Amino acid sequence: MELKPCVNIRQEWDIVGARQLGREKAKELGFGTVDQARIATAISELARNIYLYAGIGKVYFEMVDHLGKKGLKIVAVDEGPGIRDLSQVMQDGYSTSGGLGAGLPGVKRLMDTFEINSEWGEGTEISAVKWVR
């Protein structure tokens, strides 16, 4: 199996590393500057969630291909406390009102697909894809 490009998130500085790696992959795939910026912001948001709420986790990237469409998939995994109320964190205004940034609804908007799995006490896995236009 091919080794996936991956960044471990342990400290705030690692968020930048994740952005950088993600942007390189996005450039390789031919994303324009606006989409590159959006992808980088989504990565920031996901990595920052790991850093703030789980402490340790990782972000990895996959080049995906669907019916000739090329895309970049970001996967963020942690073994933190998990999210107790998913519908609450997916609500507009839940994180933004506290000044925490775009939050998960923001990531969903920045990307084309968004999937979240979280078990209370077992951690969280979020994956999101952006297609090259």
Partner 1 sequence: MKKERLDLDDYRKFLKQYLLTHDETALYQAEQLSKLSVQHNVSPEEIIHVHIKALKELYPDLQQEVSDSLNFLLEAMISYGLALQEYQSLREKQSALESEISVAANMQKTLLQTKKPTITGLDIGAVSVPANQMNGDYYHFIEGSDGTLGIALADVIGKGVPAALAMSMIKYSMDSFPEQLRQPAQILESLNRVVEQNVDTSMFITMFYGSYNTKNHTFSFSSAGHEPGFFYFQETASFSEIKARGLVLGATSDARYNEEAMTIHDGDAIILLTDGVTECHLGDRFIERDEVLEVIKDYLHLPAQEAVEKVYKHFERLQDFHLRDDFTLIILKKET
Binding site for partner 1 (CB under 8 A): 32-34, 37-38, 40-41, 92-93, 96, 101-102, 105-106, 109-110, 133
Contacts (Cβ under 8 Å, ≥6 apart) of 127: 73, 74, 75, 76, 114, 115
Q: Which is closer to partner 1, CB of 58 or CB of 130?
A: 130
**Taking Cα atoms as reference points, which of 131, 98, 126 lies closest to residue 114?**
126
Least CB distance to partner 1 at residue 34 (A): 5
Least CB distance to partner 1 at residue 38 (A): 6
DSSP string, 2-29: PPPPEEEESSTHHHHHHHHHHHHHHHHH
Least CB distance to partner 1 at residue 1 (A): 34
Q: Which is closer to partner 1, CB of 8 or CB of 41?
A: 41
Q: How many residues does the chain have?
A: 133
Q: Which is closer to partner 1, CB of 33 or CB of 65?
A: 33
